[in-house]
Structure 1
Amino acid sequence: MISTIIGAIIGGLIIGALARLVLPGKQSISILVTIILGILGSLVGSWLVYQLGYDNENGGFEIIPFLAGIAVAAALIVGYGMATGRKQV
C-alpha cells in the first residue's frame, strides 16, 4: 500500500514535470500542485487510452499511456492556470 502511494507520487512528479516542460513559458505553480496534477493526468490519460482499446500485447514499458498522461497533465496545468488567474510568462 505504501509503495503504491510512493510510486504514484514519484510518477506524478515525473509526469507533471514533463508536462510543464512541453508547455511554453513559465508556469507559476508549486511542486505539490505539479505532483497532484501529474498524478491526475496519469490516471485520466491511462484510463482514456485503455477505454479506447489499447492493449500492450508485447509487454514492456507502456509508452502510449505514458504520453497520454503527459498530454492530460499539461492540459490540467493550463486549466489550473486559467482557473487561478495565474499568468504564464
Structure 2
Amino acid sequence: MIGAIVSAVVIGAIVGALGRLLVPGKQNMSMGLTLVVGIVAALVGTLIAQMFGWADTKGIDWLEHIIQLALAVVGVLVVVRVQSGKSTT
C-alpha cells in the first residue's frame, strides 16, 4: 500500500514535469499543481492501459507511459486554459 502511494507520487512527478515540458510556452503552475496533474494522469493512464490489456507486460510498459504522458499534457493544457480565464482583480 505505501509502496503504491510512493510509486504514484514519483511517477506522477515525472509525468507531470514531462507534460509541462511538452506544452509550449510558459505555464503559470505551481509544483504542487504539476504533481497533482501528473498523479491523476498516471492513475488514469494506468487504468486505461489495464482496461485494454496493455499493462503488466514483461519489462517496461511503454504504451502505458505514453498514455500517461499524453494525459499529463492534456491536463496541463486544461489547467493553463482555466487559469488564463480567471481575472486578476
State the TM bucket, normalised to the shorter chain: 0.7 to 0.9
Under a length normalisation based on structure 2, what TM-score does the superposition of the two structures give?
0.82
**Shift in Å at residue 73 of structure 1?**
0.9
**Shift in Å at residue 75 of structure 1?**
0.2
**Shift in Å at residue 31 of structure 1?**
0.7
Matched with 1:71 is 70
| Paired residue secondary structure (2:60) | coil
Paired positions, count: 85
Matched with 1:81 is 80
Moved over 3 A (4+): none
Q: Distance in 1 between matches of 2:6 and 2:63?
A: 22
Matched with 1:47 is 47
RMSD: 1.7
- Deviations along 1:20-75, one digit per CA (max 9) or x if unpaired, are 11111111101111111001111112222332342554x01101001110100110
Q: Identity over the aligned pairs, expressed in percent?
A: 31
- Does 1:11 pair with 2:18? no
Unaligned runs of 5+ in 2: none
The letter of the residue matching 1:70 is L
